Amino acid sequence: MRSSKIHINYNGKNITESLMNYVTDLSYTDASSGELDDLSITVSDRDNKWQKSWAPVEGDKVSVAIEVFNWYKEGDQKKYPCGTFHVDGLTFTGPPDLIDIKAASFPVSSDARQVKRTKVWEKVKLSTISADIAKRAGLKLVREVPDDPTYDRIEQQEQTDLAFLLDLTKQEGIAVKVTEGKLVLFDEAKFEKGKSVATFERGKDNLIDYNFEWSAANCAYRACEVTYEESTKTTSTSKKKGTKKAVSVTKKVTYTPPGAPANGPVLRIKETAKSQADALRIAKNRLRERNKQANRATMTIVGDIRIAAGVVVTIVGFGKFDGKYIVDKVTHQVGSNGYVSRMELRKVLGW
């Protein structure tokens, strides 16, 4: 018989068994790039312990795992570690008395998402900026990206470190995730090429509900044209030999992804680029950022520990909506309705 169980470790102590009669619902969200993973644990406070001696304190650490038995086949047993979270909120409702403990993947003590800073960066690589921000936030930097862009000058103006980094990485086609005490920079395009971890087919019993969405506002562009200023050094006309001056030349470059239609709208932007290769990289990143929202879906399925943000799944039985999708966000919920997973997806671009 299928069954699921939650494991909870609080401030280094395993309290799974002592909480068995109190926890009514647990919700864990594995978020997309730019958002924080979060955790919500709802407990019954029928004897007032959670309002008094058991009351959570801001910054407390909570580690959670979901374990399933006989889930995919008879006799199997698998555990899904959700990660470590930091308590950052609490709500108390009633009657009956219920306490909802809220926690996030980002340390409460860090000011990287609260304190706004102004700073000028010159002749700096993205890796240096991200390393500085990670250090200030008390996080370990993990880079899983091939490129390391260099900036002649860039300003952080009255922005939190996290908001500034997210704006910067978004322009470079790089995704950001905070998890398990790490600041992770990764390449979404590479994740899209990953092997599908599961197939969801219309009419199968693991699929509870679904919604597919397309709108003209998110219509895909067939190409991106970048107009950019390229600086070149030329010999000066002054009598002083060897003197050079910088001359800006306006150029254009177009990136067209493989398989793009012959006709359709072209995204046109103006940017600063150091070379044609740099301009092409910018064009591809901007086109990906714009086009990746063209085909979206949401699905609720019977709980599935294989599903995490960034994995690829296959959807069949829905006609034009069939294909490979990447999971933007998933919420795993264990409670009175059993174990279910709610996915937010987008169709992979393939380039």
Render pLDDT for 67-109 as a digit per residue (tens, 0 to 9).
999 999 999 999 999 999 999 999 999 999 999 999 999 888 7
82 and 129 both lie in a single domain? no
Q: Clarify whether residues 178 and 199 are in a common domain.
A: no
Question: What pLDDT, in 10s, does the model give residues 156-197?
Answer: 999 999 999 999 998 888 999 998 889 999 998 999 999 999
Residues 66 and 93 in one domain: yes
pLDDT of residue 65: 97
Q: Nearest-CA neighbor of 326 among 215, 170, 189? A: 189
Same domain, 84 and 25: yes
pLDDT, residue 216, reads 65
Please tell me whether residues 287 and 301 are part of one structural domain: no
The CATH number of the domain holding residue 31 is 2.30.300.10
pLDDT band at 220 (very low <50, low <70, confident <90, very high): confident
Answer yes or no: do 168 and 122 share one domain.
yes
pLDDT at 241: 57
Domain boundary among 265, 292, 319: 292
Q: What proportion of the chain, given as a percentage, has pLDDT over 90?
A: 70
Does the pLDDT at position 320 exceed 80?
A: yes
Burial of 216 (0-12, 13-18, 19+ CB in 10 A): exposed
Round the average pLDDT of the chain to a whole number and report it: 91
140 plus 176 within the same structural domain: yes
CATH number at residue 308: 2.40.30.150
Where does a domain end: 292, 307, 324? Answer: 292
Digit-coded pLDDT (tens) for 38-67: 999 999 999 899 988 899 999 999 999 999
Cis-peptide into 81, omega within 30 deg: no
> Do 23 and 82 lie in a common domain?
yes
Instruction: Inform me whether the pLDDT recorded for 247 exceeds 80.
Output: no
Asked which of 82, 104, 126 is the last residue of a domain, the reply is 104
Q: Same domain for 165 and 247?
A: no
Listed in sequence order, the residues at least 6 apart from 194 whose beta carbon sits closer than 8 Å to its beta carbon are 310, 311, 312
Domain with 7 in it: 3-104
49: its two tokens: 């312990």
Buried b / exposed e along 35-65 (16+ C-beta atoms within 10 A): bbbbbbbbbebeeeebeeebebeeeeebbbb
pLDDT at 269 (0 to 100): 95
Q: Are residues 33 and 122 in the same domain?
A: no
Same domain, 8 and 80: yes
Q: Is the dihedral of CA 47, 51, 56, 62 positive or negative?
A: positive
Q: Based on the domain organization, do 94 and 238 belong to the same domain?
A: no
Domain count, the chain: 4
